[in-house]
Amino acid sequence: MVGVTLRIGELATRAGVSVRALRYYEEQGLLAAGRSGSGQRHYPEPAVDRVQLIQMLYSAGLSSKTIADLLPCVDAQVSTPESRARLAAERARIDEQITGLIRARDQLDAVIALSENPANGCTRIHD
Amino acid sequence: MVGVTLRIGELATRAGVSVRALRYYEEQGLLAAGRSGSGQRHYPEPAVDRVQLIQMLYSAGLSSKTIADLLPCVDAQVSTPESRARLAAERARIDEQITGLIRARDQLDAVIALSENPANGCTRIHD
DNA sequence: CTAGAACCTGACGTTGACGTCAGAGGCAAG
DNA sequence: CTTGCCTCTGACGTCAACGTCAGGTTCTAG
C-alpha cells in the first residue's frame, strides 16, 4: 500500500511511451508530476490511463496545445461555452479526418482492385 | 487544342496546392513535368487529378516515399507481389488509423457528454 | 519595347513531437 | 562504500512537407 506512486521509468513502460515523452508532456502542461525531495518525478497510477488518453489524442491529430486546452475540462470537468465549442470543433475535425481516410482507402481499394484483377491485361507480369 | 498544357501556377491553382508543393512533388519523384525550351515546367491536364490523389494520400498519412513506391503501380499498372503487399499494408494502416480515430472520437464524445450533461454536478458553472 | 507578372534554381527557415547526448546527482544491493 | 542503474536538467539533432527569400530569367500585355 506504499508504492502507489510510479517513477518515470515505470510509468513509461506501463504506458508504452518513452521517458522523454513523459517529460515532454509535463513541459507542455499535459501531465502533472509530483516531486520527491531530491527532485525525482512520481506519478499516481491513474497517470497510466491519462498518458494513454494523451497518446490517443495525439494519434487523432490533436496538437499539444489543443490537448492542453481540452484536458482541463476533463480533469476539473469545468465546462465553459468556449471549451464546449472547442470540443465540438475537434470532434468535427476528427469526423472530417475519418471521412477523408475512408475516401483515401477507397481510392487505394480501387488501385488494389486494378492490380489484382487480371482483367486489365497488365497484371500477369509475375507469370 | 493547343493550350492543353498547364504551367505550374495554373496547375497549382486548379489543384489547390502551392507552387512550391508541386516542385517538391517533382523533387520527390511523385509528379513528372515536361519542360519548355527555356526550362519552364508544363503539365498535362490529368496532372490536376494526380496532384489531388497525391494530396489525398498525404492526408491519409502516407509519406512521400511510400507514395512514390505506390504511384508507379498506379501509372504503369505494374503489379508485383511486393507492390501488392505494399498496397495491402498501407490499406491496413489506414484501417487502423480509422479505428483509432473512431476510438478517439468516442472518447471525445464521452467528454462532451460529461461537459454538456448537468447530471454530474459540475456543469452549472455558466448558470 | 518595356513593365510587371510568372517562372527558374538554390538554399535556409519552420513546426511538432520527440531522440539523443553530456554531465551530474540519487538510490538500493552487496 | 562502491557499483550500477535510474533520474535530473539543459540543449542540440531529426524528419517531413513545405514556406520564404534572394537573385536572375522569361513570358505577356500594352
Distance from C-alpha of B112 to C-alpha of A86, rounded to nearest angstrom: 10
Whole-number distance in Å between A30 CA and D16 C1': 25
Q: What is the pTM of this model?
A: 0.84
Q: Which is nearest to A77 in space by CA: B47, B13, B126, B90? A: B126
What is the nearest nucleotide to B38, using C1' and CA? D26
- Residue B7 in 3-state DSSP? strand
Are A60 and B105 an interchain contact pair (Cβ–Cβ within 8 Å)?
Answer: yes
Q: Per residue in A19-43, pLDDT tens?
A: 999 999 999 999 999 999 999 999 9
Distance from C-alpha of A46 to C-alpha of A123, rounded to nearest angstrom: 53
Residue appearing with cell numbers 484536458: A71
Q: Per residue in B42-86, pLDDT tens?
A: 999 999 999 999 999 999 889 999 999 888 766 766 677 878 888
> Using the 8-state DSSP alphabet, how is residue A14 labeled?
H
B58 touches strand D (CB under 7 A): yes
Q: Per residue in B2-15, pLDDT tens?
A: 558 999 999 999 99
Are A73 and B111 an interchain contact pair (Cβ–Cβ within 8 Å)?
Answer: yes
